[in-house]
Amino acid sequence: MKLTPPGNLSAGNNLDDLRRFNISTVLKIVHHERSISRSDLSIRTGLNRSTISALIGELTSQGLVNEISDKKNKRVGRPSTVVVANQNAIAIAVNPESDAVNIGVIGLGGYVHKQSRFETTGAPTIAETIKITNAIIDGLTSVSKENFQIIGIGLAIPELIRKEDGLIGSSHHLEWKEVSIIQLIESSTGFKTSAGNEAFLSTLAEQVFGSGVGIKDMVFINGGSSGIAGGIVSGGQLMRGHKGYAGEMGHTRVALTGGVDSANVVGTVEAEVSREKLLSLLNLKIADYDQFDYALRTSKSHAVLSEVGRQLEYLALAISNFINLLNPELIILGGFLGTIYSMDTKKVQKIVAINTLKPSYESVRISRAALGVNQVVLGAAELVFMNFLYDPAGPEFTKSKIN
């Protein structure tokens, strides 16, 4: 995914730009690696040791990295240290769903300090979401013993988000259409806010910290309480589409007749592969990620297992279509899709093999997502960090410390 750096930051305009560029480069590496030695930073960046030392000193003074003793290195002589991302430099991740608001407090390096789920009666309103977000920030201020530094707020919205201004372009799950949620959150909290589609940000999280690390071409398909969507990585870059609406895989047709999905389209994978149907058969009204996963995987009900088998057939057809169209190296299944896939992987592989071009099938892997319940909040936080990491020493971000 490429974002435009603020201003004209590059590797060679003037000395200050060069310094800011080098700080950005070093902090990106530390954030993604979580910990790395100075010598490895020098090798990765091509910068000499004295320059690396100066940059680490500046990042340490900003509260963005720390240096700790490398306990793995037992060599005689001067103690070795590693540079680690300061986990107390945080993003607040906000994810409103059809029945709850999920909040995550995420540190640099993808460290999950806390994740909370606030259930609502029906889809949460904007006012409820803002109130919950402010309550979390107030709690960090009044209760937390940590010296947190808030970089910003990231919103993961289960709707279409226009990429140029963050305007919500649909209202299938939340009644927020044509709402500029970024401005509302910023004006209420005082913190810089970014927003993106929930599935797109989940793809980003898997690419940076999960099953997709190092993968240049992959398709991520996620199933949650708000339906099915995903993201596409091609040549190492996340595809967003003309307006930012790419990745709505749940509306892919897999049957001429059948159920209707959230967009009133008949016979789609979202209409046929449904978390709500499985919840009903499990006699559950509400369940979080772990509760649902456990209940489904341990169920002995013939009706439940039969429905899982039926849904897997449609899921496999959708996967086949994506493989034929995009020729990915990896298909990642998140949310409840990962759960049902794990219950009968052979069935899915067999159907996919029959319906996929042989050369494409032979070079693709299908995997369950690695990040589990943290996936969405990590993605929302990563959106904040991505913008920040382009110029952490620049004027665009005002970092606030909570003492």
Reduce the secondary structure of 362-386 to three states and give it as a string: HCCEEEECCCHHHHHHHHHHHHHHH
Q: What average pLDDT does this structure show over 166-193?
A: 86
Read off the amino acid at residue 29.
Answer: I
Q: For residue 32, what are the domain limits? A: 15-85
Instruction: Tell whether 64 is covered by a domain.
Output: yes
Task: Output the pLDDT for position 178.
Answer: 81
Is it the case that residue 392 has pLDDT exceeding 50?
yes
Lowest mean pLDDT among 163-177, 229-243, 263-277, 387-401: 387-401
Lowest mean pLDDT among 178-187, 205-214, 306-315, 318-327: 178-187
Q: What average pLDDT does this structure show over 68-75?
A: 69
Of 34, 67, 85, at which residue does a domain stop?
85
pTM given for the model: 0.88
The encoded tokens of residue 366 equal: 């299908």
**Residue of 356, 254, 360 whose CA lies nearest to 310:** 254
Q: What is the mean pLDDT of the chain?
A: 89
One domain, residues 292 and 326: yes
Task: Output the pLDDT for position 6.
Answer: 41
Asked if 105 and 114 count as a contact pair (C-beta separation under 8 A), the reply is yes
State the chain's maximal CA–CA distance in angstroms: 72
Confidence class of residue 160 from pLDDT cuts 50, 70 and 90? confident
* Comparison of pLDDT for 254 and 73, the residue scoring more: 254
Is it the case that residue 265 has pLDDT exceeding 50?
yes
Q: What is the CATH number of the domain that holds 71?
A: 1.10.10.10
CA distances from 330 to 303, 317, 351, 369, 378 (A): 31, 16, 17, 11, 20
Is it the case that residue 184 has pLDDT exceeding 90?
yes
One domain, residues 218 and 349: yes
Is it the case that residue 147 has pLDDT exceeding 90?
no
Is it the case that residue 66 has pLDDT exceeding 60?
yes
Torsion of CA 97, 400, 208, 32, to 10 degrees: -160
Task: Output the pLDDT for position 144.
Answer: 61
Q: What average pLDDT does this structure show over 129-133?
A: 96
Distance CA 221, CA 358 (A): 22
Is it the case that residue 262 has pLDDT exceeding 90?
no
Q: Of all residues in the chain, what percent carry a pLDDT higher than 70?
A: 91
One domain, residues 337 and 222: yes
Task: Output the pLDDT for position 322.
Answer: 98
Is it the case that residue 402 has pLDDT exceeding 70?
no
One domain, residues 108 and 163: yes
Task: Output the pLDDT for position 1.
Answer: 40
Distance CA 352, CA 393 (A): 49
One domain, residues 174 and 98: yes
Neighbours of 108 (CB within 10 A): 27
Q: What average pLDDT does this structure show over 74-100?
A: 84
One domain, residues 66 and 113: no
